[in-house]
Homo-oligomer: A and B are copies of this chain.
Amino acid sequence: MKQTSQKISVPKATMKRYPIYLKALRKLQSNGVTRILSKELAEYCDIQATTIRRDFSFIGSLGKQGYGYDVDHIVNIFDDLLGTHYEEEIIMVGVGNLGKALLNYNRWGQVVGEIVCGFDSDPSKVGIINDIPIYHIDELEEKMPKHCRVAIITVPENVQDIVDRLVEAGIKGFVDFSHEHVLAPKGVIIKQVDIVSAIQELVFQSNNLD
């Protein structure tokens, strides 16, 4: 694992915003913006300027007083921080419609790393999709690169079994797209990207709005 900077301590709430900043800054960069004030970025991201300044300050003194922030410079710093420069090798379990959709997303390289192979329990899925080899799930331990740390799970059911097996095989972080209830041991992180919960939250929020 490449490790460019020493570990820094960042509040959880801040950590959730870093990807938002990187996303916004990349967009600005591609629009030719080379310099930005915390106030401008605040309006652009809908996050308070002072929150942005404090979030940035955990990494170091990135800005110039009376001037603002250099866009290229901080995009680079966030790229480092958020893994774009780590060339993370990711495996995918489940190659149905959702899995295929993610495999087709051909901008992985620019954002975080690449999907190196996929697994599915359906033998008819085995083969090559989008230049990425797909193996049968029975070959998981055998075909999975040994240093892989991150797995994307797109199967709808029995997610816990798959997580247990992958943890055993050395995976440390999961992105799970199911609406299942899953637990992982200490030191293993599961990010649930759960559309059903998102809609529930949405409906609840709008029903309880002013």
In the assembled complex, the Cα of A183 lies from the Cα of B200 at a distance in Å of 21
In the assembled complex, the Cα of A88 lies from the Cα of B88 at a distance in Å of 39
Residues of B within 8 A of A175 (CB): 195, 198-199, 202
Interface 1/0 per residue, A12-47 and B, CB below 8 Å? 000110111011100100000000000000001110
A164 interface residue (CB < 8 Å to B): no
Q: Quick check: A83 and B19 within 8 Å, CB to CB?
A: no
Q: Quick check: A24 and B200 within 8 Å, CB to CB?
A: no
Interface 1/0 per residue, A49-79 and B, CB below 8 Å? 0000000000000000000000000000000
A208 interface residue (CB < 8 Å to B): yes
Q: How far is the CB of A152 from chain B (nearest CB, A)?
A: 7
Q: How far is the CB of A32 from chain B (nearest CB, A)?
A: 15
Q: How far is the CB of A151 from chain B (nearest CB, A)?
A: 10
Residues of B within 8 A of A205 (CB): 15, 173, 189
Interface 1/0 per residue, A149-191 and B, CB below 8 Å? 1101010100000000000000011110101110100010101
- Residue of B24, B82, B181 near A23 (CB, 8 A) is B181
A124 interface residue (CB < 8 Å to B): no
Interface size on A, residues (CB 8 A): 72
In the assembled complex, the Cα of A205 lies from the Cα of B8 at a distance in Å of 11
Q: Quick check: B191 and A201 within 8 Å, CB to CB?
A: yes
Nearest neighbor of A83 in chain B, beta-carbon distance: B203
Q: Quick check: B97 and A201 within 8 Å, CB to CB?
A: no
User: Contacts A181-B23, A181-B24: A83 and B204 contacting too (C-beta < 8 A)?
Assistant: yes
Q: Quick check: B204 and A81 within 8 Å, CB to CB?
A: yes
A122 interface residue (CB < 8 Å to B): no
Residues of B within 8 A of A23 (CB): 179-181, 197
In the assembled complex, the Cα of A107 lies from the Cα of B194 at a distance in Å of 13
Interface centre among A1, A152, A180, A181 (most CB of B within 10 A): A181
* 28 sampled A-B residue pairs with Cβ under 8 A: A1-B207, A7-B207, A8-B208, A9-B208, A19-B194, A19-B197, A23-B179, A44-B181, A82-B200, A82-B201, A82-B203, A82-B204, A83-B204, A97-B100, A98-B101, A98-B102, A100-B101, A111-B179, A111-B196, A111-B200, A112-B200, A113-B199, A150-B202, A152-B199, A174-B202, A175-B195, A191-B198, A193-B198
